[in-house]
Structure 1
Amino acid sequence: MNSFAPPVLFRNPHLQSIAASIKLRRPLVRGRAAAMLRAGREMIVDAGDGVRLQGFYSPQPDGPNKGLVILIHGWEGSSDSMYLVSSAGHLYNQGLNVFRLNLRDHGESHHLNPGLFHSCRIDEVTGAVKRICADLSGGGKTFLAGFSLGGNFALRVALRAPGRGFGLDKVVAVCPVLHPPTSMASLEKGWFVYHHYFIRKWKQSLRKKQALFPDIYDFGDAAIFKSLSSITAHMVERYTDFPDMLTYLKGYAITGDVLTGLTVPAHIIASLDDPIIPSLDYKNLARPQSLTLTLTDQGGHCGFLTGPGMRSWVDMTMAGLICRG
């Protein structure tokens, strides 16, 4: 399946990746998502073991709905990221209740937990999704979708859901992080704009955490922020129980046989020209019967914009997958 065919001017992977989040797109996306945003209310979710995660719930007006969909943003994104709001608004307009979940230390949630975010905190995300399903699904269908690192989390949650005693009707992952060591290499060796962007965003987040918990964290040394590798190595060494950076990075990889036991119906949407997720990693991905894959030639990283109107092909594709589910 490869039905995404953008105009010639929108086939550059960097244009796709960047345009999906530029400020120019913001009024267009928020205008189309206005009903979802108006209905949204903040909720603090008990994720278990004393962990609290922030989210925003947009229920349909009184009357029937098509189920509940929980959306998870990418690394250093948030519930207000343009790609997430775009999909959330479209799904809401199709009749679904929508919950936009913030990962720990994303959005305005740094104050909720003293512990620092890292990508192996799968138990709390699984716990949060379970709680949201229990409290808000009303016994109806429940869906989970994520972008980039959020797509990685969504697939890992789906893998754990049966053992944690809750069901998901379908999971959709857009450009999920597959093998973190190769994704980090892509960021550090590829176009410098991505590397600088994530260093800047992560630095802001870590300094914010330090300001809230000065007795726990110290990110004052500028040398820490030379590269993503140097920041990761510092975090792992000082603030986690992982023996080294590579062990940590492999800890949230979903390549190899990791997804072999996946039973929840899941669908991955990704592009071969993604500048962050190497397409070769898909050759090392287990393919259980429950997992289907759409790989397009163009789309960049979580882009898939159809043209100057800045609409997302992913929004329509995701809605089709979920509403059929």
Structure 2
Amino acid sequence: MSLPSGTDFRPSWPLRSGHLQTMLSSSGVRRQLLPRRAQQVREGAEDVLVDVGNGDRLSGKFTAQRTGEPSKGLAVLFHGWEGSVDSTYVLQTGSRLLEEGWDIFRLNFRDHGESHALNEALFHSCRIDEVVIALREIARMYPARPMALAGFSLGGNFALRAAMHATAHDIPLSYVLAVCPIIDPAEGLLSLEESAPWIYRAYFMNKWRRSLRLKQEAFPTREYFELTELRQSMSELTRSLVLRHTDFGSLEAYLDGYSVAGDRLQDMKVPATILTSRDDPVIPVAAFEQLRLPSNIELDIADYGGHCGFIRDFGMTSFTDDYIAARFAAVAAAHT
């Protein structure tokens, strides 16, 4: 089976701009222009709460495939930071895989989507244990085989880390695909604050501040932050919350805690693909080029695509839909 490659993505001008690709990827314009079929994964979706221990729960949505044929397997989708199960890219990918015959589970990370009131403790990016437990529970609740996982940006980082724990936790994960995952969080934070255009910082900070306010409203007797802290820079607010709500002791230790840089993926047993672009203005491509990967992990660097964009044309359809669908189809074929 011939699989698409990142070099196959050759959008016409002006969509060769990484900034335009990035800005369009999660824009309201894109959601409005996408055809109705790109949101069909929402139709008949079942709301699910996944018990991850210690009284905590993560929320998600399950949609069973409706092709009339046996299920190809279970596709699990992870959104990016301050995204949700209803982010445009998650809906579009989920709808495409649903058409292909996969059952779809879209998972919200803690404090994402409308889940701020579910758990008292605050989200942070090192909460990999609860995501691993959630994957195990999802596999138990929906035992379609194979089970394949796709994640975007921070969700791609979580997907890769979860795959490293899969064998030890008896998670029947057959394949992982990470789109523009965060590789080196310290380098990524530095890039956002010092190199990337201000509009990206403004976008993420506005969403993050809103999320923190929603958390505070959900648990008014807890003090999650001081109002003055919300006016801090991205790195300083992260530092404040790390020192207040985690045991890491420093911002640097926290950022290192969810890094997958260098040779940290060397022991991963689950087959995987990492797709990124050279013109990603959010995550520098150098971090990908410096990865030392085992033979079961494919690294695919496209020339274009921005950060989780890969938008083909002004119909707002994405190259990643075909890319993910083709690789998931190969996984399904290997299990027949």
> Is 31-40 or 261-270 further displaced after alignment?
31-40
The aligned counterpart of 2:185 is: 180
TM-superposition CA deviations, 1:111-155 (whole Å, max 9, x none): 1110000000000001101110111023x2100110000000000
Partner Cα separation in structure 1 for residue 129 and residue 224 of structure 2: 26
The aligned counterpart of 1:142 is: 147
One-letter amino acid of the structure 1 residue matched with residue 215 of structure 2:
K
The aligned counterpart of 2:123 is: 117
Give 1:219 deviation, angstroms.
Answer: 2.7
The aligned counterpart of 1:91 is: 97
1:206 to 188, 207, 212: 212
SS of 1:260's partner is: coil
The aligned counterpart of 1:11 is: 16
Does the CA contact (< 8 Å) of 2:279 and 2:306 recur in 1? yes
TM-superposition CA deviations, 1:198-256 (whole Å, max 9, x none): 11111111111111112222434234432111110110111111110010001000012
Partner Cα separation in structure 1 for residue 34 and residue 53 of structure 2: 34
What is the aligned-residue identity percentage?
43
Instruction: Find out whether 1:246 has 2:252 as its counterpart.
Output: yes
Does the CA contact (< 8 Å) of 1:147 and 1:175 recur in 2? yes
Map residues 1-325 of structure 1 onto 2, 5 A cutoff: 1=5, 2-29=7-34, 31-61=36-66, 63-138=69-144, 140-189=145-194, 190-325=196-331
1:29–1:97 Cα change, 3 Å: farther
Partner Cα separation in structure 1 for residue 252 and residue 51 of structure 2: 31
Does the CA contact (< 8 Å) of 2:47 and 2:59 recur in 1? yes
Partner Cα separation in structure 1 for residue 60 and residue 255 of structure 2: 26
TM-superposition CA deviations, 1:8-32 (whole Å, max 9, x none): 1101111000111111221343612
TM-superposition CA deviations, 1:34-87 (whole Å, max 9, x none): 432112121001123322000011101364111110000000111111111111
Unaligned segments of structure 2, at least 5 residues: 332-336
Give 1:93 deviation, angstroms.
Answer: 1.1
Structure (1/2) with the larger helix percentage: 1
Does the CA contact (< 8 Å) of 2:84 and 2:113 recur in 1? yes
Task: Count how many residue pairs are aligned between Structure 1 and Structure 2.
Answer: 324
Partner Cα separation in structure 2 for residue 19 and residue 89 of structure 1: 19
Does the CA contact (< 8 Å) of 2:225 and 2:241 recur in 1? no
Partner Cα separation in structure 2 for residue 30 and residue 253 of structure 1: 37
Partner Cα separation in structure 2 for residue 283 and residue 12 of structure 1: 21
SS of 2:105's partner is: strand
Partner Cα separation in structure 1 for residue 237 and residue 34 of structure 2: 33
1:129–1:321 Cα change, 3 Å: same
Partner Cα separation in structure 2 for residue 259 and residue 209 of structure 1: 33
Partner Cα separation in structure 1 for residue 31 and residue 223 of structure 2: 34
The aligned counterpart of 2:334 is: none
SS of 2:150's partner is: strand
Does the CA contact (< 8 Å) of 2:229 and 2:240 recur in 1? no
Partner Cα separation in structure 1 for residue 263 and residue 44 of structure 2: 41
Unaligned segments of structure 1, at least 5 residues: none
